A and B are shown apart, each in its own frame.
Chain A
Amino acid sequence: MTDRRITAPSGNEVAGNEWYKRAVFYEVVVRGFYDSNDDGTGDIRGLTEKLDYLQWLGVDCIWLLPFYQSPLRDGGYDISDYYSVLPEYGTVEDMHELINGVHQRGMKIIADTVMNHTSDQHPWFIESSSSHDNPKHDWYVWSDDDQLYDEARIIFIDTEKSNWAWHPTRRQYYWHRFFSHQPDLNFDNMEVRQAMVDAARFWMDIGLDGMRLDAIPYLFERPGTNGENLPETHEYLKWFRKEIDSTHPGRVLLAEANQMPEEVVDYFGNGDECSMAFHFPVMPRLYMAVRREQRFPITEILAQTPEIPDNCQWGMFLRNHDELTLEMVSDEERDYMYSEYAKDPRMRSNVGISRRLLPLVENDRRVAELLHAFLFSLPGSPVLYYGDEIGMGDNIFLPDRDSVRTPMQWSPDRNGGFSRADFAQLYLPPHMDSVYGYQSVNVESQIRNTSSFLHWMKRMLDVRKQHPLFGTGTFEVLPAENPAVLAYARQQGDDIVLCVNNLSRFSQPVELQLAQYAGRIPVELLGRVPFPAIGELPYFITLGPYQFYWFQLSAAPRSADPDGISESVGEPAAREPGKA
């Protein structure tokens, strides 16, 4: 297996096993990416055919949503066989080919797995539910009492009335934290614990570089608790990590724990549990900061973000296949997000919002660029969502989350170049409206046009790769009197990048206090244009609407002390008063 280093040749390289700390991730919905066999549904071979595109863009690691055998009642998160591939996506052979193709290009690939539950069609559940004494009778959580664990909240409040469902054959209730067709596995059973390790190893043997662990806060149930983030869950995850490390070192375990950062950090353990976790609340805060035209929504949430172990990393995102998650924000913020972005009730699903980035920001490319500048420069590894690199739209008239899972728009051709199947055969209709439709928004035309959003994104990723500090450097907010401006410094060794962002829709001035960098020359990173040297006095910058700068603060030969004093006469010695 190739072990390409993500860092630039000049950088201080991350240990090979910690590649994820500097990687740019790209989330792919296989169904919607590219159809290689003209059946109207994207497939694994289709993705393999498009690997050159992802490499060109600068993606380091692909993240696949579940591709396993499934009745697809929950987008594949209802797995009915961990060892086989959903036939419409392809075969295990196809996965071999995809993974090899990814590695040949120096990239990595991870995939979703679901530990908490299976489909009710999974043979394990069929067996378990068949009697009280079959070999798998306690692989799931069974009870005669549907009031047990009643302190656990119901997650899908729109569709489920209880976390228990009656099974007529076994004549008992089974536990499900999500849909009733997704029975929860019983992690108190040792065989279940091992079964999850076995399934993960199967795919890692083929070459998968890691897994995103879906819905992990809910693995265990205990009376008198809400059944989330229990100590047993952390113990199990530590054991799971140890098992994987013993056979497959350097693989990433990405936690999907949809919680506030101070709770999520528990999933890092002491660097011996998950290697990455998503930072959920940053994303709504970014939107809010742009809307309010002030930095505090962002600095507040960063200040609330605890330190994480050295070998761990946050996953940062602007959009993903799930809606903007509001369950962990305060009431005031939730009301705010609703009123600003989801005035149309159709945009709501469950307790969230199903929108893509560009429609969310009213198709303002300046805002989209600013938000990506944050995504690429705040601490953490950025996770892109397929289609956002060309500014695809959403179709809020499709049910549930399908709004943001429409076919990738490759070209202005029929079906957006996604498939040569008949239109009616497509799993979902591609966008055809006049603003976001594939005839105007597609990869082919944006590749031909160097001023496109796609080319801008590629340039940004190039710049990011040249400065490992974006992944692993320190982060320091800098003083700025103007509340519409957020300025911060990233630093690793002698490499310093100053990021200055204007959250306002108007031009803004800002005076930055950069005396600690006196003598350095700010070099704007997209054009490598040197700016006037920093002195002891405030550094004055003007920013256009939603504009941002990334400056490398390069050390320049010091011609003279900026204030011209201390060099000429030396530092006087201080004395205590009264002792003169």
Chain B
Amino acid sequence: MDATQIIKAAEVALPGWLAKQRWFSSGDSAPQSATVVDQTWIVDGVPGLLWTLMDVDSTSVYQVPIGVREKEHIGPTLLGFPHAHVCEAEIDGKTCILYDGMIDSPLARAMFKVVFDGQQEAATVRPVGGEQSNTSLVFDNRTIVKFFRRLYKGRNPDLEVSIALTEAEFAHIAPVSATWQRGEWDLAVAQPYLFDGSDGWNMAMNSVRDFLRGDFVASSSPQGSPNKIVDDFEDPSKAGGNFGNEAHRLGRVTAELHLAMAKQFDTDAYSASALADSLMRDFDSLTDVERKSMQNLIDRLREVPDSMAGRAIRIHGDYHFGQTLRSTSGWYVFDFEGEPARPLHERRILTSPLKDVAGMLRSVQYAGATGLSEQTETAQDDLAARAESWESYNCGRFREGYFSVDGIETLMPSNQETRDLLLRGFEVEKALYELAYERAYRPDWVSIPHGAIRRLLAA
């Protein structure tokens, strides 16, 4: 079928539509123009699926599969997905709706078939909630296909790392089972869906909640008088929902990930001055006292000779609980795209694996703080110490797990003092990043990174 009418209508409506999509990120201003630079029918006709490549403002390129259905037959398709509605268009004398084809079950299944080169079909499909920069669909509860939205020329970093780790037979990622490319663009990657898993954030939150609401066995001795009940409250390792063993296992998996990355990609000597430089930039958001300790931290980082700072390797780059999943067969790591806010070439920069370690330690602290924030305000004062002990215990267990893996020392600074210094530096760096983010988007949460910065700089 001739796609001209559809393309014409879409190009008019898409700039406004794109601005409302979570995965669209082109700075502050709304896009001015969207031009179809490539298209193909995946399902020809009406109903149909016209796959398109959109050039937006000549600065970025997006993948937009456009679903087409007659308006009178659209039924409740779009009811649950108002944001998916692009526009109406007259096509061959019929009023049609153009919409995001990803939300339409039969069309999404048609794309699945394309990704698998016609070799596999799926009966059911559902979207994965909460995703920011791409669109992932789960087929038959067994396969997850991530469709990249914003496209870059050359290898997508997530795909690049996933394929390398699959080749390395690293057991803690979902191996790549199929990819979809067109010309120079990476469009999608398919992986087994770990249907029996829960993400790390949910795991950690259940443990925090258990600990904060703990009325677990008070260790009053049977001989003692009932008036002398000794609460056994403050030891998170004794709580029913103890997360320590999980944190330890996750630490081990993280170290194994880094060893696999070091094996599959180039490595270099790490220079701590890179971290010092990055801390320099964020100076303005601190008090005088904090600035002083910060300067001190930076000075000490600059004093670390390059030969002492350990290796620089490809790392995860955006490592936190949300990128991990506990399944029946252990912990898995996902999403190797790096920090989405940074330009592509920066995401590939080799750096110290301690940056990932720091990322996860910050995530543990966020879990504790989030658990605390769920409590009533009056209870928060009483429970703050408990949240803190949960954090420090589980951070400790994660670190223990990480450093217990054979060979990880080959990537580390040559002495423990330097290692701890770098780790602290990366934690501060991450907390500064969080501080900027919270100030911009969630001012109520500013106290979490701010408290962390103060604590880290006091250490």
Contact = CB atoms under 8 A, between A and B. Distances in A.
Interface of A: 291-294, 296, 299-300, 303, 332, 339, 477-484, 504-506, 513, 515-516, 518, 536-538, 563-566, 568-569, 571-578, 580
A478 B142 CA distance: 11
20 contacts: A294-B198, A296-B326, A299-B328, A482-B198, A483-B198, A504-B206, A506-B210, A516-B123, A536-B126, A563-B77, A563-B105, A564-B75, A569-B69, A569-B73, A572-B43, A572-B45, A572-B48, A576-B118, A577-B40, A577-B51
Interface stretch (B55-63, B238-246, B341-349, B381-389): B238-246
B36 to A, nearest CB: 14
A515 B124 contact: yes
Contacts of A332: 245
Contacts of A536: 105, 124, 126
B326 A564 contact: no
A568 B75 contact: yes
A300 B330 CA distance: 9
A577 B141 CA distance: 25
A515 B75 CA distance: 19
A332 B248 CA distance: 13
B126 A513 contact: yes
Contacts of B207: 293
Interface in B72-88: 73-77, 80
Chain A binding surface SS class: loop
B118 to A, nearest CB: 6
Nearest to A300: B328
A565 B75 contact: yes
A573 B206 CA distance: 45
B295 to A, nearest CB: 43
Interface stretch (B107-115, B151-159, B310-318, B352-360): B107-115
| Residue among A293, A505, A538, A580 facing the most chain B CB atoms (10 A cut-off) | A580
Interface in B96-130: 104-107, 109-110, 113-114, 118, 123-126
A478 B47 contact: no
Contacts of B69: 565, 569
Closest 9 A/B residue pairs (Cβ): A564-B75, A580-B41, A483-B198, A574-B110, A515-B124, A299-B328, A572-B43, A564-B76, A479-B195
Contacts of B195: 477-479, 513
B329 interface: yes
A506 B209 contact: yes
Contacts of B70: 569
A514 B231 CA distance: 43
A17 B114 CA distance: 50
B83 to A, nearest CB: 16
Interface in B27-74: 40-45, 47-49, 51, 69-70, 73-74
A563 B76 CA distance: 6
A475 to B, nearest CB: 12
A258 B432 CA distance: 55
Nearest to A288: B240
A270 B367 CA distance: 50
B438 interface: no
A429 B274 CA distance: 75
B138 interface: yes
B277 interface: no
Given A299-B196, A577-B40, A565 B203 contact: no
Contact of B240 (A291, A515, A564, A568): A291
Given A513-B138, A516-B123, A565-B106, 18 more contacts: A294-B203, A294-B241, A332-B245, A479-B141, A482-B198, A513-B126, A515-B124, A536-B124, A563-B105, A564-B75, A564-B77, A565-B104, A572-B43, A573-B43, A574-B110, A575-B44, A577-B40, A577-B42
A573 B118 CA distance: 12
B290 interface: no
B455 to A, nearest CB: 29
A133 B74 CA distance: 94
B110 A484 contact: no
A170 B260 CA distance: 65
Contacts of B281: none
B452 to A, nearest CB: 26
Nearest to A291: B240
A347 B422 CA distance: 49
B228 interface: no
Contact of A484 (B74, B140, B206): B206
Contacts of B328: 296, 299-300, 303, 477
A539 B76 CA distance: 18
A299 B110 CA distance: 33
Contact of B47 (A291, A296, A569, A574): A569
Chain B binding surface SS class: mixed
| Residue among B125, B210, B213, B238 facing the most chain A CB atoms (10 A cut-off) | B210
Nearest to A577: B40
Contacts of B245: 332
Contacts of B47: 565, 569, 572
A571 B47 CA distance: 9
Contacts of B41: 575, 580
Nearest to B242: A292
| Residue among A294, A484, A537, A571 facing the most chain B CB atoms (10 A cut-off) | A294
B202 interface: yes
A519 to B, nearest CB: 12
B194 to A, nearest CB: 9
Nearest to B68: A572
B75 A575 contact: no
B326 A483 contact: yes
B182 interface: yes
Contacts of A518: 124
A572 B114 contact: no
Contacts of B44: 575, 580
A537 B124 CA distance: 11
B213 A516 contact: no
Contacts of A575: 41-44, 110
B434 interface: no
Nearest to B49: A572
A580 B210 contact: no
Contacts of B118: 576
Contacts of B409: none
B110 A572 contact: yes
A575 B109 CA distance: 11
A574 B213 contact: no
Interface in B175-216: 182, 195-199, 202-203, 206-207, 209-210, 213
| Residue among A481, A505, A565, A569 facing the most chain B CB atoms (10 A cut-off) | A565
Contacts of A516: 123-124, 140-141
A483 B202 CA distance: 7
A535 to B, nearest CB: 10
Nearest to B222: A344
Interface in B401-445: none
A578 to B, nearest CB: 6
A538 B76 CA distance: 16
Contacts of B77: 563-565
Nearest to B48: A572
Contact of B114 (A479, A564, A565, A577): A577
Contact of B113 (A478, A565, A569, A574): A574
A536 B80 CA distance: 11
Given A506-B209, A574-B43, A568 B73 contact: yes
Nearest to B182: A577
A574 B106 CA distance: 9
A293 B141 contact: no
Nearest to B80: A537
A304 to B, nearest CB: 9
Interface in B208-259: 209-210, 213, 238, 240-242, 245
B122 to A, nearest CB: 11
Contacts of A477: 195-196, 328
Nearest to B79: A564
Contacts of A506: 209-210, 213
A566 B206 contact: no
